[in-house]
Amino acid sequence: MSDGPEPGRAPAAGGAPVGRPVLSLALAAMLEEVQAHSGAVYLLRPDEPVLEMAVMAGMPRAFAAPWERVGLSAPIPVADAVRERRLVWVGGEDQMARRYPRISVVLPYPFALAAAPLATGRKAYGAVFVTWPGAHPPELSDWERDRLTAACDRLALRLEGAAEEKRPLGHEPDVLAAPFSVVAGTLGSVEAARMVSRLPYGLVSLDLHGRIGFVNTAAAELLGRPAGELLGTLPWVAVPWLKDPVYEDRYRAALLSQQVTSFVALRPPGEWLSFRLYPSTTGLSVRISRARAVAELARAVPQADPGPSRLVTISQLLSLAGALTEAVGVRDVVQLVWDEVAPAVGSRGLALLRAQGGRLHVLGHRGYPDPRVAERCGRLPLSEHTPQTQALNSGVPAFFESREELERLYPDRRGTPDGFAAWAYLPLIASGRPVGTCLLAFAEPHTFPADERAVLTSLGGLIAQALERALLYDAKLGLAHGLQQALLPSSLTPPPGIEAAARYLPATHGMDIGGDFYDLVPTRPLAAAVIGDVQGHNVTAAGLMGQVRTGVRAYTTVGQAPHEVMSSTNRLLIDLGTELFASCLYLRLDPARGRAVMARAGHPPPLLRRPDGRVRVLDLAGGPLLGIDASAVYPTTEVSLAPGSVLVLYTDGLVEAPGIDIEDSLVGLGGLLAEAGGRPLEDLADEVVRHSAAARERVDDVAVLLLRARDDG
C-alpha cells in the first residue's frame, strides 16, 4: 500500500481549483451528525455519466482507490443511489458480499455503509457514502436515515446554487487528522511520554495512513529499529519481517471496522510477537508484546510441511477475481474454481450446483474419491433440508468445521460419508436472484476465521456472476449449435452414379456458428449440388444462410437452369435487404452422361481429381457475389465427370489462414487428393479437413462437399 495523498492535500486529477472547502465541511458535519466514522462525496461529471470522488473523510483515499472514478452504471452503492434516486443501505459484511462482491473482495471487513444521492427535483449532482463500524446494528435507524437524507438535500441545494452562479465545485482537501510528533509541547504531554516510555511493552501510534507518529523505547527494541528511523514510516515497509500483506490487512481491518484486531508475527530467528490494534477515528494505537504462549507452542509442535496458503491478502483476492472473469462456459468456471480458489483456501473437494426447476443440479465436481457421492449432492428439491439447499434458500453461507458439527444440524448426513471433515456452503447470488451453491470440502477439520468467512462469501458472489455469464454463454452456444444443425442437411441423398461426403467446422472463435452451407438436391432427372458462404459467422449469417439454401432448393425443384438458379438467388438476397453478401458454387449433375454444369458467384474454384490421379483447379466462368447487383449474370461451364473422378467443393476457410499463402494451400490440397483420392470418400473428407490450412486455428468456418462419380452400370 502506498502512503496515499498527504493530509490536507487534494489529488491533482481534474476538478476546479480549491476555494472555500464547501464539500469538506459539509461531509465532516454529516459524519458528526449521523455518528459515522468515514465517508466521501462524489460529483457527477457534466459531460459524461461518471462519478468522481471530490473529497474523502475519516480514512485514507487509498482504501477507495478502485472507485475514485466510476461509471454511473457500475454495480456499487453510490452509482445505484444516483441512478435510482434513493438511499442504499448495506448493513454489514454479509450483505456487502452478497450485493456488492467487487467491493467486498477488496474490503472484506465488518462495516456498514449508506449511500445517498445528491439531487434536487430537477437534477442529480452526485452522491455521498458514509460508513459505520462493524458494531453498527444491521438496520439503519429512522433518525440516521432522516438526518443523512436531510444533510444530502442541503448539500444538493448548495451544489445547485453553485451551478447557477457558474462556480462549480470540484476536488477539495480530504478530511484527515494531522499526524502528531513525538516532541511534546506541554509539561503534561512530556510526563505522559515519560510514563509510556517506562512501560514494559511496546506502544506505537499510527495515523490514518498507517504512518508511525509515536514509538516508545520498548516498541523500538521489539521491532529492532531505532525510534528515529521508524517515525513517519509504515511498519510493513520499515520493518523487513513485517513485509507481509497480512499485517497491512489487519491495519485496514481495524481502521475500517473500528474494532480491535490482533495478529502475531515471527521476528527472526524465532521470537513471536503479539500486536493488538486499537482504532479510533484519528488513527490506531498498537500494543506490542512477546507472545510467549505462541513461542512455546511452536517449540512443542513438530514443524510440518506447510499446507496450502490461507486466503488472506488483497492481491490474492484480486488475482482470483481476475481469473474468474476469464471463464467462458460452465466447465471453465468449475475448473477455475478448482484451480484457483480451492488451493488458496486448502479445499480438497468441490461441487458446483445450479438451481433450476425447483431442484439443485450438479454442474461439475472435483476431488471426490467417489464421484457418485458428489452426484448425490444434486437432484435435490430446493425444499429438502440439506446444507446446500439451506444456504441457497437463505442466502447465508454455512460453515461446518467438523463432521460432528455438520451431523448435529443435518442428521441425514450420517449415512452419506464423503471422506471429508469440514465444509463451506456458499450461496451463489447474482443480479439479486439465486443461481446455485458452491460446496468446498476439506480433508481435515478446518476453522473458518471471520476474515476467511468474509473472503469466501465475497468469492461466492464473484463465482455466482461468473456462473451466470457461463450459463448464458452455454445457452447461447446450445442455441447456435441447434440452429446450425437445423439449417444444414442432416444427411445427403446423392442420385444414382454419385457418391457424396460432407464436413462442416465452425470457426474456433465466436459462437461456433456461421454462414457456410452445402446441400445436395436429388431432383430428377438431374440432381444438383451447391456450396456457399454467407458473409460473417454469427446468428444473422446463419439465418440468412438458411434462406439462401432454401431458395436454391426451391429454384432447383421448379426446374430452373443453373444460371437461372444463381440469378434468382441473387435477387432473393437483394430483396431481403440484409446488406450481407454470399459466395456460391452451383452444379447440375448428369452422371449418366458423365458431365456437370457449373455456375459460380465469387466462390473459390473447385478441384477435380481425375481417375488417373491427376488433380487440377477448375477455371470456371463466373459472376459477382450474390447480393450486390440485381442485374448480374452468371455464365455456366460444363466439366467432364468420368467414373472415378472426385470433385472437391469447399469454402475459403479451408484454404485461408493467417500467414499462409492461398496458392500454397491449394498446392498442398492437390497433393493430398493425388495421393489419397482413391480412399473411401468419408475417410478422404476427414483427411481433407485434418490437413487443411485451417486445421491449426480456424478464423473462419469451413464447409467441404466431396462428390465422386461411379460407374453403376
Mean pLDDT of 123-143: 93
> What confidence score (pLDDT) does residue 375 get?
77
Assigned CATH for 22-165? 3.30.450.40
Task: Using alpha carbons, list the distances in angstroms from residue 428 to 394, 443, 481.
Answer: 11, 23, 28
Helices (H) and strands (E) in the chain, counts: 22, 27
Q: How many Å apart are CA 428 and CA 459, to the nearest integer?
A: 9
Task: Determine the 3-state secondary structure of 518 from DSSP.
Answer: strand
Q: DSSP 3-state assignment of 553?
A: helix
Closest CA to 155 of 13, 30, 64: 30
- What's the whole-number mean pLDDT along residues 381-398? 85
DSSP 128-179: EEEEEETTS-SS--HHHHHHHHHHHHHHHHHHHHHHHTT--------B-PPP
pLDDT at 485: 67
pLDDT per position as a tens digit, 653-692 = 888 776 677 788 888 889 999 988 889 999 999 999 887 7
pLDDT at 511 over 80: no
- Average pLDDT of span 247-261: 86
Which CATH number is 327-479's, of 3.40.50.300, 3.60.15.10, 1.10.10.10, 3.30.450.40?
3.30.450.40
User: Residue 411: which pLDDT band, with cuts at 50, 70 and 90?
Assistant: confident
* pLDDT for position 539: 67
Mean pLDDT of all residues in 24-39: 92
pLDDT digits (tens, 9 = 90+) for 204-222: 999 888 899 889 888 999 9
At the second CATH level, the architecture of 188-291 is: 2-Layer Sandwich (3.30)
Instruction: Name 415's Cβ contacts closer than 8 Å, sequence gap at least 6.
Output: none
Supply the pLDDT for residue 507: 65
What does the mean pLDDT of the chain come to? 82
CA atoms within 13 A on the CB side of 248: 25
Q: Where are the beta strands (DSSP E) in 179-324?
A: 202-206, 212-215, 261-267, 271-280, 283-290
pLDDT tens profile 43-98: 998 888 889 999 999 888 888 877 888 888 888 999 999 999 999 999 988 888 77
Helix axes 245-257, 314-325, angle to 10 degrees: 90
Contact partners, residue 200, CB within 8 Å, separation at least 6: 218
381 pLDDT band (50/70/90 cuts)? confident
Nearest CA among 574, 572, 568, 571 for reference residue 586: 568
Position 333 pLDDT exceeds 70: yes
| CATH code 1.10.10.10 for 488-709 | no
| Contact by Cβ (8 Å): 149, 157 | no
**Closest among 388, 403, 374, 400 to 453, alpha carbons compared:** 400
- Cβ neighbourhood burial of 10 (10 Å; 0-12, 13-18, 19+): buried
The mean per-residue pLDDT over the stretch 174-183 comes to 54
Is 488-709 in the same CATH topology as 22-165?
A: no
pLDDT band at 14 (very low <50, low <70, confident <90, very high): very low
| Claim: this prediction has a pTM higher than 0.75 | no
For 300, other C-beta atoms within 10 Å of its C-beta total: 7
CA 634, chain centre distance (Å) = 50
- The residues near 293 (Cβ < 8 Å, ≥ 6 apart) are none
Give per-residue pLDDT as tens, 110-119.
Answer: 899 999 999 9
Q: Which three cell numbers stand for residue 395?
A: 442466502
What is the model's pLDDT at position 694? 54
CA distance 548 to 562: 15
pLDDT, tens digit (0-9, with 9 covering 90-100), for 181-204? 443 344 455 666 667 766 778 999
Question: What distances in angstroms separate CA 208 from CA 213, 253, 257, one per listed residue?
Answer: 10, 12, 13
Q: Which three cell numbers stand for residue 133?
A: 463500524
Q: What value does the mean pLDDT take over residues 622-649? A: 92
Dihedral over Cα of 241, 246, 250, 251: its sign: positive
pLDDT at res. 189? 59
Neighbours of 201 (CB within 10 A): 14
pLDDT in tens, 599-615: 999 999 999 999 999 99
pLDDT tens, residue by residue, 15-28: 434 456 889 999 99
Domain locations in the chain as residue ranges: 22-165, 188-291, 327-479, 488-709
What is residue 187's predicted lDDT score, i.e. its pLDDT? 42
Residue 455: the pLDDT is 78
> What are the pLDDT digits (tens) for 560-611?
999 999 999 999 988 887 778 889 999 999 988 899 999 999 999 999 999 9
Which pLDDT belongs to residue 462? 83
Return the minimum-mean-pLDDT range out of 92-101, 273-282, 292-301, 523-532. Answer: 292-301
695-713: pLDDT as tens digits: 555 567 788 999 999 876 5
Provide, rounded to the nearest whole percent, the portion of the chain with pLDDT above 90: 31
SS3 helix, strand, coil % of the chain, rounded to 5? 40, 25, 35
- Which carries the bigger pLDDT value, residue 351 or residue 10? 351
Q: What confidence score (pLDDT) does residue 311 get?
A: 44
DSSP string, 299-347: HHSPPPPP-SPPS--HHHHHHHHHHHHT--SHHHHHHHIIIIIHHHHT-
**Between residues 469 and 424, which one has the greater pLDDT?**
424
Lowest mean pLDDT among 249-258, 320-329, 363-372, 507-516: 507-516
The neighbour count for residue 292, using CB atoms within 10 Å, is: 11
